[in-house]
Amino acid sequence: MITKGKEIPTYEELEVQDVALSSPFLKAGALHMGKQCEAENNEFMLCRMEEKDPRKCINEGKVVTSCAMKFFQVVKRNCAQEFYNFAMCLDRGSQDMSYDFCRKTQTIFDDCMKEKAGIERPGYGYFCEPRIHETKRPQPMPEPPPVYPDALVEPPSDDIPRQPSKYQGRPIFF
């Protein structure tokens, strides 16, 4: 359970307007959004993987959400109808919302985004490629080994004089 000594941010600190879109719309805009918010996303995911603590990546997460909100506002201003058609095609085209059955509407949406918003669709499999992210956030250091005050004293091992063996050593492998 959660003790009183554990710092948890208040509701006000966590209150952000979330992207209120359903999955076909998110999937329709995913690739453009990922390209547009690439730096923010990578920063957040790096923070999350390194810190392993959701409390320390709240601000990065808010930046990610606001970037996504901004992107979808741009889409709504410029290519609302094309975006809607593409998302509806994804929703009704197949069970797993495959892009394969919606190439026509996707092309129309991509062209619209390129012309009006100036956002180009990233290449095939762009987000599956590993790439290096530059960040200013310091890397968290691993925890130092524990020091116990009542630990036993290590026996002296190095200062014992050791003689070279009188006879030949025993062979190891046979």
Partner 1 sequence: MSGTTVKQDLPPPGGYKPINYLRVPAKTYFSGVQMFVLFNVITFGAIYIWSYSAERMRKLRTEDRSARLALQPMLFAEKDRLYLKRMRSLRDEEEELMKGVPGWVVGTYWGEPIYHTRPENEWHDITPTEYLAHSPHYKQQYMVNFYKWL
Would you count residue 111 as binding partner 1 (CB under 8 A)?
Answer: no
Task: Return the SS3 of 67.
Answer: helix
Contact with partner 1 (CB under 8 A) among 68, 79, 89, 102: 68
Nearest-approach distance from CB 135 to partner 1, in angstroms: 14
- Sign of torsion over alpha carbons 87, 89, 95, 101: negative
Contact with partner 1 (CB under 8 A) among 61, 88, 114, 117: 61
Task: Return the SS3 of 133.
Answer: coil
Would you count residue 45 as binding partner 1 (CB under 8 A)?
Answer: yes
State the Rg of the chain over Cα. Answer: 28
DSSP line for 38-102: HHHHHHHHHHHHHH--GGGGHHHHHHHHHHHHHHHHHHHHHHHHHHHHHHHHHHHH-TT--GGG-
Report whether 24 contacts 88 (CB < 8 A): yes
Nearer to partner 1, 11 or 174 (CB): 11
Contact with partner 1 (CB under 8 A) among 24, 64, 82, 89: 64
Would you count residue 3 as binding partner 1 (CB under 8 A)?
Answer: yes
Would you count residue 89 as binding partner 1 (CB under 8 A)?
Answer: no
**What's the CA gap between 39 and 10, in Å, rounded?**
27
Would you count residue 117 as binding partner 1 (CB under 8 A)?
Answer: no
Q: Given the rule CB under 8 A, which residues bind partner 1?
A: 1-11, 14, 16, 18-19, 26-27, 30-31, 33-35, 37, 40-42, 44-45, 48, 52-55, 57-58, 60-62, 64-65, 68, 96, 98-100, 124-128
